Structure 1
Amino acid sequence: MAGSVIRNYTIEVDNINKKSVFSIFPYPVEVLTPNGWENIQEEFEELQEKKLDGNVTLTSDEEQIYKEYKQLADSFYENKIASTIILDTVDPAGIDIVGRDRVKHVLDAETREQIPFGREFAYVHGASNLSGTIILPYDDYSDVYVVSDADEDGVAELTYVKTKEETDGVRPYYEKIEGQTYIYVDHFSGGGGTQADPYIVSTEQDLDDVRKKPGAWYMQDRDIVMGSFQSGEGFTPIGDDTNPLRFTGVYDGNGYTIKSLFMNQDRNFVGLFGYTRSATIRNLRLIDPSITNKKGYTGALIGYGFNTSVYNCNVISGIIEGQGGYVGGLIGYLYQDARTYQGSSIINYSYNYKCNVRSASNIAGGFIGNVNYYSGSFSIAYCYSTGKVEDITLARERSNIGGFIGSNNTSAITNCYWDIETSGIPTSAAGVGKSTSELKVTSTFENWDFANYWYMSQDYNGGYPEHRQFIQYQNGTGKKEDPFIILTEFDLSQMRWFRNEYYFKFEDDIKMTQFQANDGFYPIGFNLVGKESYFKGYVDGGGRCVANLFIYRPNDSFVSLFGYMMDGWIKNLDIIDCNVTGLHYTTAFAGQLSKATVSNCHVDTFTYCKVTSKGSHGAGLVGQVTTDGIVEDCSVNTTVVGVDYTGVFAGYLTGNGIIRRCYATGKGESTGNYLGGFLGYGNGSSVLEDCWTDAQLNGVTVGGFGGNTATLTIKRCLALGKAFASSGLNGFIYTGSGAFSDNYFDKELYKNASSTGGSGLTTREMKYRGTYSNTVWNFDDIWIMDPKYNDGYPALRKLLPLDLPLLGFRNEFGKYYTDNAGGRLRYLEFGTLVASQTSSPKPVWLQNNADFPVNQLKTWVDSTTVAKGMEIDLSMSDTPFLPAQELAFNGTLARGGAEKLYVRIKSDIAVKTGGTFDLRAKASPM
């Protein structure tokens, strides 16, 4: 079919969204010529208009063309009810679309299913392994079905399609929107089988279909409970030792589980993956597998792994039993030989917890049965096993039965352990045997990373190490409608393991107390073994803050809270009092921003906040904004110290990145060239608009607004600070080019400065509304001029300072719970409290923001706002906590002074919800 020379459809390839759009017609619209496909529809429509126009006579050539087209249309007319088909590929070669009457197995499928009448639809040939969307022209269909021949054996299957609600969004499904019916279909539950767009595995059937494309990329997107394949031979292993069927792809479990995998086989190579070669399996958990095999090479995850790497995988409970030798809790046989096939065997961060291994032959291990190394890259590290290992023969005379590995011929197995007591095996061909109690202490595990990869608590794995990827959030599912809830420092650090298209919501301020020494906090979006090398998530800070962020990685680039961000967005989040040190593109918030948006986010100083770049492009908020990156309505108030191309707000703006409606204040210092009060360096087709800076600058070559630029657009921006330059000073851009318009700097502040990119004005002119053209500057929605804001210079409406309450409750880092009008800004969050328990005390500061001192200061709980069954206590100390409903503070509270108090909650045994409560305060002026 793909060899057709006539098409009843057109194809438009959308490279940006990685799709091909097929527009369907009943008659021919394209014909294949030596120069490729040529559209004949437009010419025919023009001729037809002339034919119907009584005032126009066709020429003889036009008459001949019209006649030929009519004959062509009659010969190739097909009823096709689909109006548009969208396939998730940018390579439509080999795909053809025909009517149902041209496909015999479609007719056969309808006959078998006793369809009462033949329906008109388009059949897509050559796309059985692609996801896609079929758009039908009407929405009044009583039944919707698709016919497919995914294995291309000539026998098609008819599948009735349910609604999106009925399938919970698992394909295939359909929905009716604005008079049309949209059918979402796929060989898998989504994706195209590539690294950038892997097949999505959502169901048992998806998992079973993996064997049909053994060389593709796969990603699991939810837990799978194996309700099918529970009798007879059970689930058939994915891959065997015949060349077309070996699994050679990548399977990413994405932190999800497969539960109750059942196999009862009589073959070599048995496991979820029977035989793998040059493959990678990562981030997958098997719970309660039941696998028995009468022959050899048996493991829960892999029966036989040839040049295969496994990262972040584990098996929990269950039984793995083999009669023919080479039996392992996770892998039966691992072979590394790079002479004939590429690939490495690297097994990291994996374990067997309580899965019993039973063998009736030689060579079995709690983790791996046999390891055979010949050549190439090979390593097994940071793994452990607690599973019982048994020789199940009557004589108990089998050899090479090991607690961790049965047989091994390499020394490249390090930092691995097994439990001598629970395994019942005192020896192993590799690994270190320890007692149960020793394996529940972090100091036992030499060089294990318990800050980023592992976590140890009695709540997980009975006190043995748990991989952080498999620790789920207590609140939320990570979906758009139910985001993961961030309440603690632990929740924040866990974000690095849930980095691909999850949603997050902060519901409390986070004070960083861990990671305050050595390298400090490991940036979210930095490399983790087996995970993407970037963060692609959706983060709503909820107006909350992360305080005391400490990172010291002077040899790493893109050092920040979010190191690399590719796609997604972050909004409404503040960073307060950070201390961040790195190499290039070092900043507080995001090291690199690509195809992502940061909005209403701020870096602020309460006591001390500093970013130190040991290289180039250091900045306060973002290091690099590049392809489709957007930063808007953000601000910084911090000290930035760098070498070259240092910007107080942004280090590097390039590609088609955009920064708009932002400001920078604080300090900027550099020992190299091109220090900018807002931007270090910019180029490309990027845009910077409606921004200002009043940062204090000290450097070698200094620009009040930017250091060095080329080609980018800068408009409606202001430089209002002061600067010292040992070599050269420019009031706006130190050096460079670009499309500059309506930019100004205060020439009284930047004394003797030259003017590139902006015009120098006096302070009086800068504070005069008439200076700014009404046709260019938007003072209705973006800018405001008022003496109480920004010292009378133009200020950004969305970023005006808070109107502070005269007596205000705030947290440790200056974030208030209400504004002066009583509007709620945040809650004093206590998280989830079990009925009849008392919370830990939380500190609150009561601050005097009046222009005068006060005395007779009191604070109390408004009892009318407290829910039934709850009790709110106040205290001036936390140890001991002396409960009271009202506190009176002696002496005078100076202007700007604050008193510290503590608040806790007690609950009744019968209470089910806590609700909210109000604190009140009053004082007398002096």
Structure 2
Amino acid sequence: MATPSTFRACVAIPLFLALVCPATAAEQIDQSNLPEWGGGWTHVNPTADGQAVMWQTFTPACTSLTAVEIDILTVNPGRGDDVLIVEIARDGVVLASAERSVEDGFDDLLRVEFPEVMPLVPEQVYDLRVRDTGKGQFGWKYGSNTYERGGRFVFAQERPGTDWFFRTYTTAEPAATKYSGGTGEPNDPYQIATAADLIALGETPEDYDKHFILTADIDLDPNLPGRKVFDRAVIAPDTDPNTEWDFDGTAFSGVLDGNGHTISHLTIVGRSYLGLFGHLGYGAEVGNLGVIDVRITGLGYCIGGLAGGNGRGNVTASYSTGIVSGSAEVGGLVGANHVRSGITSSHSACAVTGDNYVGGLVGDNAGGSGHWGHIGNSYSTGTVTGMGECVGGLVGVNWGHVTQCYSTGAIVGGTNVGGLIGSSGSVQEGWGIVTNCLWDIETSGQTASYGGTGKTTAEMQTARTFLDAGWDFVGETANGGEDIWKIAEGLGYPRLAWEKYSGGTGEPNDPYEIATAADLIALGETPDDYDKHFILIADIDLDPNLPGRKVFDRAVIAPDTSDTGNWFDGPPFTGVFDGNAHTISRLTISGGSRLGLFGSLAAASVSNVGLVAADIKGTGDWIGGLVGTYGGFLVLGGEVTNCYSTGTVKGNNHVGGLVGQSWGGRMSQCNSTCAVHGSYSVGGLVGLHFAHTTTYCFSTGTVRGGSFVGGLMGINGGEVADCYSMSTVSGDSSVGGLVGGNYEYFLGHGRPGIITRCYSTGSVSGSMDVGGLVGENTYFEDMWFEREGVVNGSFWDSETSGRATSAGGTGLTTAEMQMSQTFLDAGWDFVGETANGTEDIWWMDEGKDYPRLWWELQIDE
């Protein structure tokens, strides 16, 4: 009979465990006479540390979660107590976790409560995972199936190694709520989390005086379910399009806090008062909101990306991108900014087209009878095209006040065209006042304006230009202490301090621009942006001795927030990071686990960046110069392309010069010259390489470790092709010039490590299982039978390595290793030959050097 230590509880989880929303009671259904389970079985293994993991996905109907309830029946009592760990995860990242002990013989409803109420986003997919803390090293099976919400499921079959029997039940439907939460009061605003919430707001004029907050980015792409091409504004539309100038309908007079979120792909084809808001009324406040990739076409008046008209409301810290067109009073952000209305700390990159009163930010800034529309500390960068009169880079016609603003977009118009302001009221009568404003005379194509000062592009990208005009910048006090503006000197125009980076919107065609150390650090501190697009526009020095830098104690971007165990805590980076051929130098980290510029990547793309003179020391596992861990169990890896690292990387297990662990993705055209030191699974480029494809990479540093130490990789459980190592390698056991261990990392999967057309030349030393190319070359076809890994067309230099043997590959003399025919005969694709392919992967200086990758020569040139 099995002992309790051998048979711990392995958990079978169907889709609909009861997910308990706050103040919502679970109602167990009658489980008699349910249809017999007809699904298949899926084989699953314990994790590397022996803890069983079962999971299912679910899509929440409510916006928060307090507990999970599971109906448990112990099938075979007498096997001992255990502890369950229940986790809620999204995109492989654990968001909430709780433990519950389960007594032997338990047969009841087990409620597992989370320490805090966890917010959920309806329409998103989450994982519910259950682990037990047992250490039984055995395989087990479970059944699963998927039903629509409210469906029924029963699982009633014991499998080998399974102690418990789980049943499921449905929950009562949550009580109907307006929007995704809140009451609309100032201290409890209505929560707008979905496109349906936003549309519902627009269809509920009685709520226009309430308080709202966005809790998620919202995509209004008309091709998505439940969206459409609108024929009027989403919120506060003009209800009578036949009256061109007058607004008919209910203006929005409440408060909408964008909370740093965006509303994307808003598409409108209509007449007048078009935008996300048709008209903002008295007391309205809209802030911290981005409307991006808008497509708004109006045949009439008052057309803007954010609002058609602003009548005594205030817009702050908001922005727009996309295309806006109309007849008159057309602006990238607001069509018409009426008297006693304000726009501050905002900007637009929209391309704006119209007939009359057309501006990059505002079409018409009104004024009269001692009252003014006011625009302050704002800018526009989009193109402006006006067929008629009053066309300006910032404002088409200005009757109000404009203070400390600028514009840079190209401007084309008929009459009254200005680089900043197209036309203005009488300054003598107090109308059309423009104070300390500038525009770029080169990019705009305009040398004149009704207000403001024209400057060259170089002057517009120099802080002194704006400081002399009294602008309040971060880090200076002579012009004030509000820290309104910032600038990357000589690299771009001023940006508002609340903007997280030096430019861009994070979209694929307009990535966030990373120009300074502050930008890079801000990215790391903004997990909500980890799924966005970024581009380096300058080399960045992270020397901890420079102002604003430091010795980091965790990864700069996507760090492990707990650093306590095998599970990564914190969101991984899932976006796109293009280094644009720039470098990040002197990154210094002294911490625990998952260290590197990036702590964790999941389905991400990182390319074209060099880590120079990095100094990274970790006391734990998964340490790399660029990336700590890349992909993982149930997590897609993504791509790392054309990246390199120099410096020093030290850690415990899974340590690599570029990447600590790569799992389930692709790597190409990367290299490392780092000195790498670790205990287990240590490689010059990658520590642990599993279920991953790596091509056209190399390493040339020094690698020292205990077991499974390789010049390129410590352990290869994936595919490696057309790579090489010149690293000097030393270790105790399983030491190889290219790979320490070439085998399938998780036993029983029956897939070998594969090495094709690779070589190594560095010195190799160790005590046991030491090879010139590969130290150990085995995998397990099943749980018990050991097989050799695959090594094809690969070589090592038996002279320079000091090794006459290897667990795979062919040893050759230095002279043979510097002859192209050696490699041509093995099927290597060289420049200038076609018999082995036409990709032109390799080249060599015959008789003088080893083969080199063709891309290396192209970069050198």
Q: TM-score, normalization: structure 1?
A: 0.41
Higher RCO (C-alpha under 8 Å, 6+ residues apart): 2
TM-score, normalisation: structure 2: 0.43
Which of the two has greater helix per residue? 1
